[in-house]
Chains A and B, each alone.
Chain A
Amino acid sequence: MMKNLLAAECLKIRRKGIWFLTFLGPFGVVALQMVNYGVRKDYLLQQSEDDWGYYLQNISTFTPFALILGIVILTSFMASIENETNAWKQLVALPVSKLEVYLSKYTVLTFLLLISTCLLTVFTLAYGVFLDLGEIPYVELWKNSFYPFVAALPVLGLQLWISCVSQNQGLPITIGVIGVILSFMAYSLPDWLIWKWPSLINQWDEPLINVGLGLGVGVILYIAGTVDFIRRDVK
């Protein structure tokens, strides 16, 4: 049943520009560094002995912001597909459980974000090779893309929850915009705010804490969203 639902979801996101956004996000992040390095490559290479490390650090300045913005846009698109003509009532009146309906949305979103994350890795690698920064630190490269993704799962859980249960899409968008703004000033935020986590910054200087928290709280928010979605009447 899940397979059928996922196939239907993939059909529904056609022509919404969702695939394009999935590509645009990671491309944008790397493109900013193309401009950065294109303009002042020599200066930037002087800044650190570890050219790859410094380059990855530059990339990661914008990753959390792009990730959170991407999550906000994708979830609101996903929900708008059903909200536009209140297709929820048609979808839920099908022989499917509400749990599966919510899970299928979540799965498709996670899948799209995973594609973005993979693309980010590929683009980062490609431009890094182009810059000829020396020996490629594959593990660091991988961490640089995938750690923020896992740390951002709570934001995904929260945004999907709000978008799916609120009649007025103003609420999820408002919270989303606030989240994006917060992600900009991650450095000065308290550690417990979920919007800080994708930046991988914390007082212990240990990125894995953010990743662990992201996974744990992400799962909790996903379950809370499912329970609330099942409990509510479809208007």
Chain B
Amino acid sequence: MEYIVETKKLTKRFGKEYAVADLEMKIPRGEIYGFLGPNGAGKTTTIRMLLGLMKPTAGSVQVFGKDLRKDRINILNKVGSLVENPSYYPHLTANENLEALRKIYGVPKTRIAEVLEIVRLSDVGNKKVKGFSLGMKQRLGIAASLLNSPELLILDEPTNGLDPSGIIEIRNLIKRLPKEYGMTILISSHLLSEIDQIATTVGIVSKGKMIFQDSIETMRLYSKQKLVLKVNDSEKAWRSLIAKGIKAELEEGIISLFEQSDKGVAMAVRSLVQDGYSIYRVEEEKRSLEDTFLQMTAEEKVL
């Protein structure tokens, strides 16, 4: 598989604290990579190292198959980024802000109107950014990151501080980019629900270590649903199910079935009814990704 970003044993130490430790990140081409982790897990530090803003204490970063240390300028030519809070020049208008960056990229002037159109800021292009709302500033930051039509877009918490409609708008925009422009996207967040809805690959970081990295489907497997039954005499009912060869588990008076097909569930229920048990509830219990995420990061804390 072709990786757009690949880090090897990436480490960053601040004094005695390891902000990032032996991190191996692999982002395949054309994916939306959701970079998840609780606050202070080392997401922003990692992103800063990917952009060459910080020098790693140890380890290496390869972007587009090139070493970041050697080819930093060539690499950054094809990378767009928005790190943490959006940076802007408040005394300049949106157009001028983009113009200051455009001059450095050396892309055509028409690109400014294009990116403003993408983030729907065309009608405030001539207003000073000082007066913008946080959402507008955030969108201006995204516009700036798209200015050079990057192949890799790095967005650090892009929906921070946005209202629900703004979040949806940004989400739809991010979903569109890989298809329409062939971009690969790295998006970090501490909110799993955010990543769940857009990412195709997920990396979970906790205390500076990568604790999970795979496709979102694989992650969903961890959060399988269960079917639970509440009956009057659960212990006996459970035994009768087991006796009939139906796999089930008993926990605190609640029976959970492994069999999840409609047929299997029907059979289990029928057998219980025929044996004279009263069934109070048949419920589907979905273990959310949120739980999985919390569990994964909590396990780390114990260590």
User: Which of these binds chain B: A8-16, A24-32, A209-217?
Assistant: A8-16
The listed residue (B51, B85, B101) touching A85 by CB distance below 8 A is B85
CB <8 Å contact, B48 and A233 = yes
CB <8 Å contact, A85 and B89 = yes
Residues of B within 8 A of A91 (CB): 87
Task: Determine whether B301 belongs to the interface, using a CB cutoff of 8 Å to chain A.
Answer: no
CB <8 Å contact, A94 and B101 = yes
CB <8 Å contact, A14 and B96 = yes
**Residues 92-120 of B at the A interface (beta carbon under 8 Å):** 92, 96, 99-101, 103-106
A85-B90, A93-B51, A234-B53 known; A11 vs B99 contact (CB < 8 Å)? yes
Residues of B within 8 A of A89 (CB): 48, 51, 53, 83-84, 87
Q: How far is the CA of A38 from the CA of B239 in the complex (A)?
A: 112
The listed residue (B73, B79, B83) touching A97 by CB distance below 8 A is B73
Task: Determine whether B236 belongs to the interface, using a CB cutoff of 8 Å to chain A.
Answer: no
The listed residue (B53, B76, B77, B103) touching A233 by CB distance below 8 A is B53
CB <8 Å contact, A94 and B92 = no
Q: How far is the CA of A81 from the CA of B103 in the complex (A)?
A: 17
CB <8 Å contact, A7 and B103 = yes
What class of interface size applies to chain A in its complex with B?
20 to 34
Q: How far is the CA of A89 from the CA of B81 in the complex (A)?
A: 10
CB <8 Å contact, A233 and B52 = no
Q: How far is the CA of A1 from the CA of B100 in the complex (A)?
A: 13
What 1/0 mask marks residues of chain A from 73 to 96 whose CB sits below 8 Å from any chain B CB? 000000001001111111111111
Residues of B within 8 A of A87 (CB): 87-89
Q: For B84, B87, B92, which residue has the most chain A Cβ atoms within 10 angstroms? A: B87
CB <8 Å contact, B96 and A11 = yes
Q: How far is the CA of A1 from the CA of B77 in the complex (A)?
A: 12
CB <8 Å contact, A233 and B100 = no
Residues of B within 8 A of A90 (CB): 81, 83, 87, 101, 144
The 10 listed contacts between A and B (C-beta, < 8 Å) are A4-B103, A5-B103, A11-B99, A15-B91, A81-B89, A89-B48, A89-B83, A90-B101, A95-B105, A96-B104
A-B CB proximity, top 9 nearest: A87-B87, A90-B87, A233-B54, A95-B76, A234-B53, A95-B77, A93-B51, A8-B103, A8-B100
